[in-house]
Structure 1
Amino acid sequence: MTNGERAARIDEVRRRLHRDGPPWTRGQGLDFETVSLPRPDCDLLRDLLVAERAETVVEIGLAYGSSALAIGEALSTVGSARPRQVVIDPFQQSIWSNVGWDLLRDAGLDRVATQIEAESSTALPGLLAEGLVADAAFVDGSHRFHEVFVDLYFLRRIVRPGGLVVLDDHWAPSVRTAVAYYERNLGWERIPDPFPGGSRQHIGNDPGAALVDRCAAFRVPEPGDDPPFTAFRSFWTERP
């Protein structure tokens, strides 16, 4: 099977998922639409990773698999001889009934993807110890501040210098505040308008707050000495 044929197979599974919905849901109304990255944003994520020529991508949070399929399509489009996709989700079986992983298998991505059913706070140190070097990461796991902060701490050491860290739900104050530390204190560079025309949402889901892009992307800087504690810069973001 050629890379083009692999990408076409993945695209067909993606089309079916967004047209018909997943074969199983938690049964909570519009749960799939609420939890999953919408197809237009998935397309933009795919295009961003293709433009970066990403060959190894780490994703935190699998759920229904919409973003994971887009990442897999990007890897197939790039056509690396050794693509690698690592998806971390401790609840894929217990909460999501393996629906996301089953869709990845339907798309033929189990040949390049590895599923880790563990908390990202324990899975990421293992990947670091293994020596994994990723070109990009997509963060859509726990949205609690301390857990996002820990995810970014390890991804800073896993994603190569110049690579990308993309965050979903950047409208959430907890997510915005966590990444703001790395931006303001460690030199992470925010990429301007990485998802042109993508979804937007009010900060904190407050209609009176600013409207911001749902997803944000940051470039990991070249390694250097960590700044002294005396150079600490406040990273509290705007209130919703």
Structure 2
Amino acid sequence: MAAVRRGLAEQGPPRRPDGAPAFATVTLPDRDCDQVRDLLVHEAVGTVVEIGLAYAGSALAIGEALVRSGAPNPRHVVIDPFQYTAYDGVGWELLCSAGLDGIAELVTEPSQRFLARLADAGFAADAAFVDGSHHFHNVFVDLHFLGEIVRPGGVVLLDDVCWPSVGAAVAYFETHLGWRPIPGAVAGGTSDPASGRPRTGAYRLPDPRPTPDFRDFRPFC
């Protein structure tokens, strides 16, 4: 699987469907993938939810972490409604070629709908990686349900926290629900050229989950 990820980083995807988003634009840079992998290995994760597959750069890193962690029944739930419409299945094919289809499952419906059903079913994960829709309302809904799905004390990582829409969404959970950046988790990663802010964010969920009073609402942007 490391060889497949290395080949993807060095040569790009095996094919680039007409009209698909550019590989360099949507794919998490390789050094950031390394950081995601290393953090998840350190956390000894067994179950990870990922939103956004695209060309599978981050998914391959997460799969590598799950294998390295040595969990008895590793599970990787990958949600991407555009995998076959925009990406022609390239990302899933790369995961399968790396031998990760035994632990990964692909869901091709919007995350905002599927995550609600996972939460209702009592599904629990150790960590999540979010790189799906960048509309504020969609990111907010994703994070709301992941706050129920990811176990207390678990980890949520996000790509493109330098985007105002993504950064604003996560700011609510920092301000009102006690999510805290993990010191040093993404140090040395890719930064946004315009703002200089880190591209990737990593957050620790509180344990236990808080229940804030709506009367204590504070501005969060």
What range is the shorter-chain TM-score in?
A: over 0.9
In the other structure, the counterpart of 1:222 is 207
CA distance in 1, matches of 2:65, 2:134: 25
One-letter identity of the residue aligned with 1:19: E
In the other structure, the counterpart of 2:59 is 68
Specify whether residues 15 and 125 from structure 1 end up closer, same or farther in structure 2 by C-alpha distance, changes over 3 A only.
same
1:94 paired to 2:85: yes
User: Is residue 20–residue 87 contact of structure 2 (8 Å, CA) maintained in 1?
Assistant: no
Q: How does 1:15-54 map to 2 (within 5 A)?
A: 15-27=6-18, 31-54=22-45
Stretches of structure 1 that go unaligned for 5 or more consecutive residues are: 1-9
Shift of 1:115: 0.5
CA distance in 1, matches of 2:18, 2:47: 33
What percentage of aligned pairs have identical amino acids? 53
In the other structure, the counterpart of 1:14 is 5
Specify whether residues 20 and 146 from structure 1 end up closer, same or farther in structure 2 by C-alpha distance, changes over 3 A only.
same
1:151 paired to 2:151: no
Shift of 1:14: 0.7
Shift of 1:26: 3.6
Shift of 1:224: 4.3
CA distance in 1, matches of 2:75, 2:7: 24
RMSD over aligned Cα atoms: 1.4
Residue from 170, 181, 186 that aligns with 2:177: 186
Instruction: Find the structure with the greater CA-based Rg.
Output: 1
Report runs of 4+ in structure 1 exceeding 2 Å deviation.
26-30
In the other structure, the counterpart of 2:166 is 175
In the other structure, the counterpart of 1:235 is 220
Matched residue SS, 1:110: coil
User: Is residue 20–residue 86 contact of structure 2 (8 Å, CA) maintained in 1?
Assistant: no
One-letter identity of the residue aligned with 1:170: V
Q: How does 1:98-177 map to 2 (within 5 A)?
A: 98-177=89-168
One-letter identity of the residue aligned with 2:213: P
CA distance in 1, matches of 2:116, 2:53: 19
User: Is residue 128–residue 155 contact of structure 2 (8 Å, CA) maintained in 1?
Assistant: yes
Matched residue SS, 2:77: strand
CA distance in 2, matches of 1:127, 1:219: 20
Matched residue SS, 2:192: strand
- Provide the aligned length of Structure 1 versus Structure 2: 221
Specify whether residues 36 and 186 from structure 1 end up closer, same or farther in structure 2 by C-alpha distance, changes over 3 A only.
same
1:55 paired to 2:49: no
More moved, 26-35 vs 36-45: 26-35
Give the TM-score of the pair, scaled to structure 2.
0.96
